[in-house]
Amino acid sequence: MKTRATEMFGIEHPIFSAGMARVAQAPLVAAVSEAGGMGCLGGVSFLPEALRAEIERIRATTSKPFAVNLLLPDSLTSDDDDQWRPVRELWAQLDPTDRGKMAGVEPLLTPGAVRGQVEVVLDAAPALVVLTFAAPGDFIEECHRRGIKVAALVGSTGRAIAAEQAGVDLLIAQGTEGGGHTGYTGTLPLIPAVVDRVSLPVLAAGGIVDGRGLAAARALGADGVWVGTRFIASPEAFGHEAFKQRVVQGESRELTLTRAYTGKPLRAFRNRWTSQWEESATQPAAFPGQYAVAGMRVETGYQDGDLEWGMMPAGQGISSVYELTPAGDIVRGMAAQADEILSSLA
């Protein structure tokens, strides 16, 4: 299945695994790329030197192209002490044990850490950098000078147009069905609307877990798919077995769109923390401060399988995820099923 996305990176299948924070580490990234798709590292979870080491782990496992996901909103890249002070005060109020537990979000609560991530990624020069929340023009230009392609994750036509004007090479249009940070427009209306308004290749995201979703995305005009939740249910994904089994056994009605963990809308499993937050009607701290408010609840889902309090992002496609499957088999099976569907329809 050749598309503008496969041609851009010289890959076999137009299937990109999402750069899920914590979940998408070197084993998952390498497995997806080795299978002919493109794996994406959740770079936001690593302090700079750890990020450098994780990229080296990927390259020690595969020579295939891969991507790195970064968050570059002003709130994370600013050097303004007044802006960072409330975030650091929240962080300082946490018990030292809690802070140790939150290694995966420490970069988002540490002034200068995201700038360090940027330098590491520019030096490493992966095939693609995926930007979430913001697409700074100066960063995009520097990536292009170093031969790195840039994609932007968007949830509306307005954001898509702005990202194209900023100079990105690829757009990922994610519908609200997706897990993690997501918007409010459904995938089915969003994808053709974005495709109609931009000239760039577009990946479809949100609720896509199999070849039927890939075939549908192609019919809507997308050049490939960006898949997150399906890859959580794989041996290579980072995360507690209880989290993975919850994805396999869960239903979409168990999910909620909440600001309780990060301060931004995030689709995750409903639990005691999300319910208490909704009932309290408390306003979340500004991103990224809410991570510190939520404390180690952000990490206990991934690390300990804490179903009661831990953050467990997932998309509405879980209703069609039935078993743990190796990441490479997910890629190959998705591609084969989409080929069969499109051929039969033709």
**Domains of the chain (ranges, CATH numbers):** 4-238+319-338 (3.20.20.70)
Asked if residues 60 and 89 have their Cβ atoms less than 8 Å apart, the reply is no
Up-side HSE of residue 222: CA atoms within 13 Å toward CB?
A: 31
Distance, CA of 143 to chain centre: 20
Q: What is the pLDDT along the chain (346 residues), one digit of tens a residue?
A: 899 999 999 999 999 999 999 999 999 999 999 999 999 999 999 999 999 999 999 999 999 999 999 999 988 888 888 889 888 888 888 888 888 888 888 899 899 999 999 999 999 999 999 999 999 999 999 999 999 999 999 999 999 999 999 999 999 999 999 999 999 999 999 999 999 999 999 999 999 999 999 999 999 999 999 999 999 999 999 999 999 999 999 999 999 999 999 999 999 999 999 999 999 988 999 899 999 999 999 999 999 999 999 999 999 999 999 999 999 999 999 999 999 999 998 8
What are the CA-CA distances from residue 131 to residues 40, 42, 85 (Å)? 11, 11, 25
Structure tokens at 293: 């408010």
pLDDT at 80 (0 to 100): 85
Assign residue 103 a region (left: φ > 0; alpha: ψ between -120 and 50; beta: otherwise).
alpha
CB neighbours of 179 closer than 8 A, spacing ≥ 6? 20, 228, 229, 232, 255, 267, 268, 313, 314, 315
SS3 for 145? Answer: helix
pLDDT at 282 (0 to 100): 86
pTM of the model: 0.96
Cis-peptide into 288, omega within 30 deg: yes
pLDDT at 301 (0 to 100): 93
The CA-to-CA distance between both ends of the chain, in Å, stands at 14
Helices (H), the chain: 4-9, 26-34, 48-61, 74-77, 81-92, 96-101, 113-124, 137-145, 157-166, 187-197, 211-219, 229-232, 241-249, 272-280, 289-294, 297-304, 327-345
pLDDT at 187 (0 to 100): 98
Structure tokens at 31: 């497995």
pLDDT at 75 (0 to 100): 86
pLDDT at 49 (0 to 100): 97
SS3 for 13? Answer: coil
